[in-house]
C-alpha cells in the first residue's frame, strides 16, 4: 500500500483529477452531479496553476477552501449548500490520492442497482426483518451499508454475487480506510451479516467470511471530544439567526449542546415529539428504542418556534428539521450533520488540533462531561444521555475535566423511562 500511495502522490494534479472523473463514472454518479464536481476541480486546477503547484496535497485543498471563503461569515462566503459541496469535492480528491478510490455516501440509497443485485438486497432486507427480527432503525442502517457494497461491486463490473471474491472484498475495505476504527468495525459487521446470508443461500463459499478482518475496538479506545464553554458560545454566536438555514441550524445545535441529544434523535425529531403544554420533548430513542423525556427549556423553545414559524419550508412532512433545498426532504438516515458544526466552527475561528474530530456528537459528549464534573452520579448521567447502562457512561470518567464547571441542563427535569 505504501508504494501505491507514493506513486499516486507523484502524479500531477491533472492526472489525478482525470482518474477521479473515471472513478465517479464507475460509481454511477449522474452526469449533472459529475459536471458540478468538474467545475469545482477546474477551479482547483486554476488555483494551483496560479501558484505554480502541479501536485495534489492536503495543504492545497485547504488553501483552496480558504480562498473560496468556506467557513467564513463574510458577505462573500458561499451559501451553506455550496460550502458543503466544496468540502465534499476536496474530500474526494484527498481520499482518492490516499487510497486510489472513494465511496458514495448520502446518495447511496437513491442509486439504481443492477436488477440482480437489487433482488439480492431486497431478499436480505426481508430476511433481516422476518427471520432475524432486526429493529427498523438497524435494518435501515444495514440496508444503506450493504447498498454501498453492492454499488462497489457494480463499479467493478460484478453483477452477480456468486462472483464476489476476497480480492473484491479487500478492495472495498481498502476504499473505507478513511473511516474511524469504530465506524469501520460496524461496516465490517454488517458486511459479515450479508455474506453469512449469502453463504446460507449457497451463493458464496464460507471461506469468504473467514477472510474478513475482525476489528476489535475497546469501548474506551477513543476518548470523547469535548468543547470548552467559550467554544460552544462562539459556535452558537457564529450562526446567522436571521436566515432560514441559520434558524434551523441554531435549533439543531442547541438540542445537542444543551440537552445532549444524539444526532439520530435530532435528525428524526417529529412535530408530535414536542409537548409544548408540558414543556417537554418526548420520543423513543432511535438507537436504543427506549423512551426519554427531556426539558423543552425557554431557550430551546424560542429557537424551535422561530424556526417552525418563520423558516421551516411548507410541507406535509412531520420531521421537525428539513433540508432547505428543494424538494425540502428530511436529512438522509446516514447524515451525521457534521457539515453544520464544521461551517460554524470555521466561521467562529475555532481551530482544531490534528486528528481532532468535533462533530455534532462531541457536543453530546460535552454535556455528559460537564454533568460528571459537576458531581452528578453516573447512573443519573446515564439517564440523561439515554444510555441503557451506566457502563456506557463510564468512558467520561477518563476525560480531562479542567475548565468544565457548569452543567448544561437541570437533571431533575430529565426522565429516562
Alpha helices in 100-180 (DSSP H): 115-130, 136-155, 166-174
Q: For residue 402, what are the contacts with CB-CB under 8 A and spacing of at least 6?
A: none
User: Would you put residue 337 in left (φ > 0), alpha (ψ -120 to 50) or beta?
Assistant: left
CA–CA separation, 52 vs 13, rounded Å?
Answer: 12
Q: Is 358 a catalytic residue?
A: no
Catalytic, out of 88, 287, 317, 338: 287
Q: For residue 113, what are the contacts with CB-CB under 8 A and spacing of at least 6?
A: 121, 147, 150, 151, 154
CA–CA separation, 332 vs 321, rounded Å?
Answer: 11
| Residue given cell 421537525 in the structure block | 320
C-alpha cell belonging to residue 139: 435494518
DSSP per-residue string spanning 19-36: HHHHHHHHTT--HHHHHH
Catalytic, out of 247, 248, 262, 347: 262
CA–CA separation, 11 vs 25, rounded Å?
Answer: 21
H/E element, 140 = helix 136-155
The residues with which 415 forms a beta bridge, in sequence order, are: 293
C-alpha cell belonging to residue 114: 443492477
Whether the bond into 327 is cis, omega within 30 of 0: yes
Catalytic, out of 99, 104, 145, 361: 361
Q: Is 68 helix (H, G, I), strand (E, B) or coil?
A: coil
Q: For residue 168, what are the contacts with CB-CB under 8 A and spacing of at least 6?
A: 152, 153, 156, 158
Q: For residue 356, what are the contacts with CB-CB under 8 A and spacing of at least 6?
A: 225
Q: Is 361 a catalytic residue?
A: yes
Q: Is 33 a catalytic residue?
A: no
Q: Is 396 a catalytic residue?
A: yes
Cβ–Cβ < 8 Å for 373, 226: no
Q: Is 307 a catalytic residue?
A: no
| Dihedral in degrees, nearest 10, Cα atoms 395, 397, 400, 403 | 120
Catalytic, out of 94, 142, 358, 387: 387
C-alpha cell belonging to residue 158: 460484478
CA–CA separation, 184 vs 401, rounded Å?
Answer: 29
Q: Is 364 a catalytic residue?
A: yes
Q: Cα dihedral sign for 96, 210, 111, 140?
A: negative
Q: For residue 24, what are the contacts with CB-CB under 8 A and spacing of at least 6?
A: 33, 34, 37
Catalytic, out of 364, 365, 370, 416: 364
Residues with catalytic roles? 262, 287, 361, 364, 387, 396
Amino acid at each position: 500500500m505504501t508504494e501505491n500511495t507514493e506513486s499516486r502522490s507523484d502524479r500531477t494534479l491533472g492526472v489525478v483529477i482525470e482518474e477521479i472523473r473515471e472513478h465517479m463514472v464507475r460509481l454511477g454518479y449522474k452526469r449533472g452531479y459529475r459536471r458540478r464536481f468538474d467545475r469545482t476541480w477546474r477551479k482547483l486546477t486554476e488555483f494551483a496553476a496560479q501558484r505554480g503547484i502541479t501536485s495534489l496535497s492536503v495543504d492545497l485543498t485547504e488553501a483552496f477552501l480558504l480562498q473560496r471563503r468556506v467557513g467564513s461569515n463574510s458577505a462573500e462566503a458561499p451559501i451553506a449548500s455550496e460550502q458543503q459541496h466544496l468540502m465534499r469535492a476536496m474530500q474526494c480528491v484527498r481520499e482518492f490520492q490516499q487510497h486510489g478510490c472513494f465511496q458514495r455516501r448520502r446518495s447511496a440509497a437513491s442509486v439504481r442497482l443492477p436488477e440482480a443485485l437489487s433482488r439480492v438486497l431486497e431478499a436480505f432486507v426481508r430476511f433481516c426483518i422476518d427471520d432475524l427480527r432486526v429493529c427498523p432503525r438497524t435494518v435501515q442502517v444495514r440496508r444503506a451499508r450493504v447498498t454501498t457494497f453492492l454499488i462497489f461491486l457494480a463499479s467493478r463490473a460484478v453483477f452477480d454475487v456468486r462472483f464476489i471474491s476476497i480480492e473484491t472484498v479487500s478492495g472495498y475495505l481498502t476504499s473505507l480506510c478513511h473511516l474511524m476504527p469504530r465506524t469501520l468495525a460496524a461496516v465490517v459487521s454488517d458486511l459479515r451479516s450479508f455474506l453469512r446470508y449469502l453463504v446460507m443461500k449457497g451463493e458464496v463459499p464460507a471461506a469468504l467470511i473467514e477472510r474478513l478482518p475482525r476489528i476489535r475496538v475497546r469501548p474506551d479506545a477513543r476518548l470523547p471530544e469535548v468543547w470548552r464553554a467559550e467554544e460552544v458560545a462562539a459556535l452558537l454566536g457564529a450562526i446567522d439567526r436571521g436566515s432560514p438555514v441559520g434558524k434551523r441550524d441554531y435549533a439543531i445545535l442547541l438540542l445537542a449542546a444543551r440537552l445532549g441529544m444524539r444526532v439520530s434523535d435530532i435528525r428524526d425529531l417529529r412535530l408530535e415529539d414536542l409537548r409544548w403544554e408540558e414543556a417537554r420533548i418526548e420520543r423513543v430513542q432511535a438507537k436504543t428504542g427506549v423512551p426519554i423525556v427531556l426539558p423543552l427549556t425557554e431557550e430551546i423553545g424560542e429557537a424551535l418556534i422561530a424556526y417552525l414559524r418563520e423558516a421551516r419550508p411548507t410541507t406535509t412532512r412531520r420531521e421537525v428539521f428539513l433540508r432547505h433545498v428543494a424538494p425540502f426532504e428530511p436529512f438522509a438516515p446516514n447524515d451525521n450533520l457534521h457539515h453544520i458544526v464544521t461551517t460554524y466552527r470555521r466561521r467562529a475561528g475555532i481551530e482544531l488540533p490534528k486528528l481532532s474530530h468535533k462533530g455534532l456528537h462531541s457536543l453530546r459528549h460535552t454535556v455528559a462531561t460537564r454533568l460528571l464534573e459537576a458531581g452528578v452520579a453516573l447512573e443519573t448521567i446515564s439517564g440523561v444521555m439515554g444510555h441503557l447502562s451506566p457502563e456506557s457512561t463510564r468512558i467520561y470518567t477518563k476525560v480531562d475535566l479542567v475548565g468544565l464547571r457548569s452543567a448544561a441542563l437541570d437533571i431533575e427535569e430529565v426522565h429516562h423511562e
